[in-house]
Amino acid sequence: MQEIGAEVTTFTTSPGAVAERCDLPPRGPASTVIQQSGSERSLVATTEETLRSMREKNWEDEPTNRYPRLLRYFDRERGFGLHHHVAIFDLGTRAVRVLVAPRVLESEDWNRERFYNAASMLELGTELVRNGFQLSLSSLSLARTIEFVIGFRDVLVAHGFRPEDFYLVGTAVFRWMRNREEVLRYLFETTALTPSILDDRSEALAGLDGLLATYRVPASKATMSFPTEAFRLVLIDQGGGSTEVSSAVVGREDPGLITHSFDLLGSMSLRERFLSPALGTLTSRSVLQRWLAGLEPEVEAHIESELEPFALSWTKGAPLIGYAVGTAIVRCSPLRNNHDLHNQLLDLSQLEGSRVELRERIHSILDRGRGDFAACPGVEYLLDRLLGLAVYRTLLRRFGLTTVRLCGYGLRYGVYWGRVLGRSIGQG
């Protein structure tokens, strides 16, 4: 990693520079210059050009319509006095996300209008695994990740963001990389932002911080009640790279922190273990149907074996309240906005109903494709969700829980709560 020295160093990066290396179309003309001198570091962007480009270009053609929403967010924030803001980029195994939030939160009501979110499914982990855990610097997913970061970075710099206002965090996919230092150095050289890689415990704690900061935040369609005595929150978070279980007692001086990471229970690990090896053998509809019928019992046996060494003595002594985050379980709710689905209550019968519905959809798609996976777009995504639900169901059974609440505020909110606001439970 390049250190900031006493001499002046200038880094110039632009979407076009990354695009040229990876044969991608450039996204916007803006460039950013990072100037470092001793302890001072400043970001300078072509403000007028950046804003004019983002407003005049027909960004409605963009699949996620990112930048107009961001500009509207800053327009709203002016009503709050346009406090100084931060941006947190979460570089995940399957998706890259960004959260923009005020540096100072005057109250803890978590008004949804005070936060901006965007995400893109880039499958960085898929490319890594298929290339023997060595990520090429010219890989498409890495180029798209950098393009995502630079695009937002230039708009934010145009709104006065400084280097210390950016947080770039990576999770399991970066822990897996055999050439991690090379990739991190390249990320710094191309984005001029310093990435920070979370170890498995820090990743679990960040998710728990996000829950502890928001578990009392009501959603418009949720009913809530919590014990008056001490109780233990437990969070299950299945991501692309791993599944984290984290827990803390609320209402006691000692929170009794618990964190555990299961790398072999992430959605990508399950896909590589159970789906990828089978694809070449499913040569007929009957073979495929037999494989699908035996898939879930095999997956659940694998999950149980992974959980076997996981001690459960910490679950005693205080009532357990379960929360869950991750695509497989969040999609069990018809709500899509993270603020709306937060604190929605699901029971095991609803999870079972979602499992049955997924199986029916998978069968229907495979029937239309006559058993040919190549002719069945979307079926792998549905299979990922089916395997993910098995992880949640198995863990809930082990904890003796029959209900679980959805957590709408993920890792990036935990990073915000801990690193920006300085209130991480792990720091206590």
Higher pLDDT, 83 or 42: 83
Query: For residue 33, what pLDDT is reported?
Result: 45
188 and 286 housed in the same domain: no
Q: Is residue 424 part of a domain?
A: no
Count of domains for the chain: 2
Q: What is the mean pLDDT of residues 384-404?
A: 95
CA-to-CA distance for 404 and 351, rounded, in angstroms?
10
Q: Any idea what the CATH number is for the domain that residue 279 is in?
A: 3.30.420.150
Query: Residue 96 corresponds to which tokens in the numbers above?
Result: 């890259």
Question: Mean pLDDT across the stretch 302-315?
Answer: 92
Query: Tens digit of pLDDT for each residue in 148-199?
Result: 999 999 999 988 899 999 999 999 999 999 999 999 999 999 999 999 999 9
CATH of the domain at 87: 3.30.420.40
Q: Can you give the pLDDT at residue 111?
A: 80
Does 290 fall in a domain?
yes
pLDDT tens for each residue of 122-155: 999 989 988 999 999 999 999 999 999 999 999 9
Looking at the domain assignment, is residue 428 inside a domain?
no
Structure pTM? 0.82
Rounded CA-CA distance 242/211 in Å is 18
The predicted pLDDT at position 15 comes to 37
By residue range, what is the domain housing residue 226?
204-412
Q: Is 160 part of any domain? A: yes
Residue 21 has pLDDT above 90, yes or no: no
Residue 339 in domain: yes
Whether the pLDDT of residue 364 is over 50: the answer is yes
CA distance 265 to 302: 9
CA distances (Å), origin 88, targets 49, 97, 167 = 24, 8, 5
Angle between helices 140-158 and 47-56 (to 10 degrees): 110
In this prediction, residue 13 carries a pLDDT of 38
Distance CA 129, CA 197 (A): 18
Say if residue 271 is in the same domain as residue 408.
yes
What's the mean pLDDT in 43-54? 43
| Mean pLDDT, range 307-332, rounded to an integer | 93
Q: Give me the pLDDT at residue 361, please.
A: 87
151 lies in a domain? Answer: yes
Mean pLDDT along residues 344-367: 89
Helix, strand, or coil here: 2? Answer: coil
Give me the torsion for CA of 418, 424, 426, 428, rounded to 10°.
140
Average pLDDT over residues 324-338: 91
Q: Is residue 20 in a domain?
A: yes
Tens-place pLDDT, residues 240-285: 989 999 999 999 999 999 999 998 999 989 988 998 887 667 666 6
Distance of CA 110 to the CA centre of its chain: 19
Quote the tokens at residue 363: 């069968």
222, pLDDT greater than 80: no
Out of 174, 197, 220, pick the residue that ends a domain: 197
Task: Please indicate, yes or no, whether residues 131 and 236 belong to a single structural domain of this protein.
Answer: no
Give yes or no: residues 190 and 208 share one domain: no
Q: Has residue 425 been placed in a domain?
A: no
Q: Is it the case that residue 2 has pLDDT exceeding 50?
A: no
Long-range contacts of 282-285 (CB under 8 A, 24+ apart): 282/371, 282/373, 283/371, 284/371, 285/366, 285/367, 285/370, 285/371
Burial 264-286 (b: 16+ CB within 10 A, else e): ebbbbbbbbebbeeeeeebeeee
Residues 236 and 105 in one domain: no
- The length of the chain is 428
Q: Do residues 147 and 229 both lie within one domain?
A: no
Last residue of a domain, one of 148, 164, 197: 197
What torsion, rounded to 10 degrees, do the Cα atoms 46, 73, 98, 1 define?
30
Mean pLDDT of the chain: 81
Residue-wise pLDDT tens digits, 397-408: 999 999 999 999
Whether 161 and 246 share a structural domain = no
Question: CA 14 → CA 55, 58, 329, 421, distances in Å?
Answer: 18, 20, 38, 31
In this structure, the answer to whether residues 138 and 52 fall within a common structural domain is yes
> Residue 413 in 3-state DSSP?
helix
Cα distance from N-terminal residue to C-terminal residue, the chain: 30
Task: Tell me, yes or no, whether 51 and 175 share the same domain.
Answer: yes
